[in-house]
Structures are given as C-alpha cells and as structure tokens.
Amino acid sequence: MLNRFLLIFIFSVLVTSCGLLDRGGRDDDLAELETIPDEPITQEPSILIDDEEMIAPVDGAIVDDGSVPRTQQMEAGPSGTFVGQKINPLREDFLAVAEAFNIHRDSYEEVKSRVYGASTEFYGTIAAVNTKLQLGTTPGNPVLVRQYDQAQSELDNIEEYMREINLLNQKVNADAGVVALLKSTLNKTLRLAGAIDQDHRQLELLEDDTEKLEIDIARLINEITEEISRQAGFAKIENQNMLVMAVAIRNGEAMGTGILNRSFLAAQALAEAGAPDEQLEVPRVNITGLPLVVIRFDDPDIDYEKTLFDAIGTTIDKKAGANFGLVAVSPIGKNEGETRINSSKVKKYAERVLRSLVSFGLPSKRVALSAKTSGDVVVPEVHIYVQ
C-alpha cells in the first residue's frame, strides 16, 4: 500500500516538472522563429475579353443608346470601336483618290483647252492658205510655205496634246480601279462585328461619297474616250489634206481635199447612213433563244472581259457580219425605290460592258441596247444576244 502511494507521488512530481519546463522556455522559442514572407498572389490571364476591352478608352465617347442625333453621329470623331478605328484610314484613302482625280480632271480640261486653241489656229491658217490658193498665186509662194509650216506645227501640237490625253486616260482608269477597291473595302467593313450606330452612319456617308466619285470618274472616262476617238479621226483626215495642200502650194493652185477623203469617206458616210427612211431608226434588240453570254454582277469588280472577248471572237469568226443585243436585266426590289436603284446600277454595268465591246474593236453601231426588270434574277445581270 505504501509502495503504491509512493509511485503516485513520484509520477505527479515528474508531470509537474515537465509543465514548468515548457512554460519556462516558450518565450525564447517564439523569439527565435522567423516570420514567413507573404507570397505574391498572381492572377492567371483570362482568355475571355470583357466588353470594356473591345472599346478603347476615348474621352467623350458617344453612348450608343439612340440619344445622339443622326447628324451628330455623322459629324462626330472616332468612336474608338474596332470598326470605328478603320474609318479614318478609309477616309484618308478616299480623300487621296478624290484629290488625284481632281488633279487629273483639271489637267484634262487644261489640255483640252490647248487642243481647241491649237485647232482654232490650225483651221484659221488653213483657211488663209486655201483662200490664197483659190484666188491663184505663184508656184511655191514663200508666204504660203511659211503658213503651211505653221499649220503643220499646230497639227503636230494637237497630236502631242492627244498623247497627253491618252496618258491621262490611263491615270483616270487607275483612279477608277482604286475607287472600286475602296468601295469593296467599305462594303466589307460595314459587315464587320464590333460597331455602333455612329460607325455605320459615318461609313454609309463615306460610301455615298465614294459612289458619287465613281460616277464622276465614269463620266470623265466616257468623255475622254469620245475625245480621243474624235481627235484621232481629225488628225488622220487633216494629215491627208496636208499632203494635198503641199502639192497645191507647189503648183500655185487649189486642188481640193484629198482623193481618199473625197471618195472613201463620202462613200463610207453614205453607207453608214443607209436609206433616207432608215437613217432615224434606232437598233433594237431581237431576243431569240438563249443569250450568248450572261454576266452576273454579284461582285462589282467581276472580271468578265476574257470570257466576253472569247465568245464575241468565236461568233465573229463564224458570222463576220453578226450584230449583238445587249440587255441590262435588273432584279425587282422590295419596294419601288429599291427597284429604281437596281435599274440604275445595272445600266452602269451595261455601259461598262459596252465600253469593253468597243475596246475589242466591235463598232458600237453593231450593238443594240435594251433594259428590263425581271423577277427571275436576284442580282444585276447583263445578257448578250446574237442578233
């Protein structure tokens, strides 16, 4: 019994000593511990793009809630959207090609005024020489020789001016190509996602200006083409007349116009005019069977000339005197206004095809023109028929 109490007493003393040792050394152990440094918390980049990140921060950005008037949207600065950032570069391209076109148009007007001025002086000099020859003069009159040299120099100047107009024609056609590319880019930009109403208003305004410029360029191309054709015929005839005039001055008497001009040109004019009762008739399209060529303008820049050239060439090889009918077919729109717009577009396409036919060497008098609206087509089409 005594032994049991003794063992319990010894065990209690030992446990108490251990507790005292722990309390005595705890503060020293805590003092010796090092602080654990804080680890920086890094956030993994997200693959998702918030709506705020789609729009660049712009001071005074327009809110797309319909509260901004249409006029202010068209006149406002860049919106900062993905599409809005493309508007200024497109506008700069438009202004550049518009400036180039204005320079080319002014140059054409300046050269044309020089052509008309030289033509006036040329005909004045020729009239003076012909008057003296008609009244009779000495053979090889030095005054007439000097006037003849002056007239020849003026004719050479006209031909030089026509070379400048030909060069301008190439430049204006290059402007037309740039405008076509710009118009295509605008159409694609309008279909991009990430735009607000303001962006579309400004793009539509720029598209309208581009279409107006396209019309001005097409008109100038037509005018230059006619001028080149007219002046080329003038230069050919007058060069022949100058040869005859040189002989007349050498002989001292008038000889009239050149033999080629008197016979061939007169006969050609009568042949082209036809009978008196047929001279006022306008060629009509005779639509029979299937068209020879169908050009679908689902893309305004469609490349059709190679196919058209091959088809026309094959037809001419088989039937040298073949005439052709060109029909502009426009789709029916959702309303009357859209139908009229489609009709106007397809007529411009038809004029382009006609210019291509003339550039192939096909006389325009062998092409009859017509236009119609059809519910069987969904895009503007130009049909070529063999008459």
pLDDT digits (tens, 9 = 90+) for 275-292: 444 443 445 666 778 899
- Both 146 and 219 in one domain: the answer is yes
Q: pTM score, two decimals?
A: 0.49
What total of structural domains would you count in the chain? Answer: 2
Among 37-46, 144-153, 253-262, top mean pLDDT goes to 144-153
- Both 167 and 314 in one domain: the answer is no
- Both 297 and 324 in one domain: the answer is yes
Whether 45 maps to a domain, the answer reads no
Answer with the residue of higher pLDDT: 56 or 1.
1
Residue 150: band (very low, low, confident or very high) from pLDDT cuts 50, 70, 90: very high
* 263 has a pLDDT exceeding 60: no
- pLDDT for res 11: 64
Structural domain for 356, as ranges = 282-387
- Both 372 and 330 in one domain: the answer is yes
What order do you get walking across the sheet with 293-296 strand by strand?
293-296, 381-386, 324-331, 367-374
Whether 13 maps to a domain, the answer reads no
Task: Report the candidate in 154, 147, 112, 119 with the shortest Cα–Cα distance to residue 133.
Answer: 147
Residue that is last in its domain, among 219, 250, 273: 273
- Both 340 and 202 in one domain: the answer is no
- pLDDT for res 20: 45
- pLDDT for res 241: 82
Q: What is the rounded distance in angstroms from the CA atom of residue 291 to the CA atom of residue 297?
A: 16
- Both 179 and 323 in one domain: the answer is no
- Both 339 and 357 in one domain: the answer is yes
Residue 102: band (very low, low, confident or very high) from pLDDT cuts 50, 70, 90: very high
- Both 344 and 269 in one domain: the answer is no
* 252 has a pLDDT exceeding 50: yes
Answer with the residue of higher pLDDT: 173 or 40.
173
- Both 335 and 242 in one domain: the answer is no
Answer with the residue of higher pLDDT: 379 or 31.
379
Cα 53 versus chain centre, distance = 35
Structure tokens at 180: 């076509």
- Both 265 and 291 in one domain: the answer is no
| Rg of the chain in Å (alpha carbons) | 43
CATH number at residue 194: 1.20.58
| Contact predicate 330/378, CB 8 Å | no
- Both 109 and 200 in one domain: the answer is yes
**SS3 category, 262:** helix
pLDDT tens, 64-77? 445 554 555 555 55
Whether 44 maps to a domain, the answer reads no
CATH number at residue 323: 3.30.1330.60
Whether 222 maps to a domain, the answer reads yes
Task: Report the candidate in 119, 163, 129, 134 with the shortest Cα–Cα distance to residue 149.
Answer: 129
> Long-range contacts: 158-164, Cβ < 8 Å, 24+?
158/115, 158/118, 158/119, 158/122, 158/231, 158/234, 158/235, 159/235, 161/111, 161/114, 161/115, 161/118, 162/115, 162/228, 162/231, 162/232, 162/235, 164/107, 164/111
- Percent over 70 (pLDDT), the chain: 70
Whether 239 maps to a domain, the answer reads yes
Residue that is last in its domain, among 253, 273, 293: 273
- pLDDT for res 50: 47
Residue that is last in its domain, among 207, 238, 273: 273
Whether 187 maps to a domain, the answer reads yes
- Both 224 and 182 in one domain: the answer is yes
Whether 21 maps to a domain, the answer reads no
| Contact predicate 215/179, CB 8 Å | no
Whether 350 maps to a domain, the answer reads yes
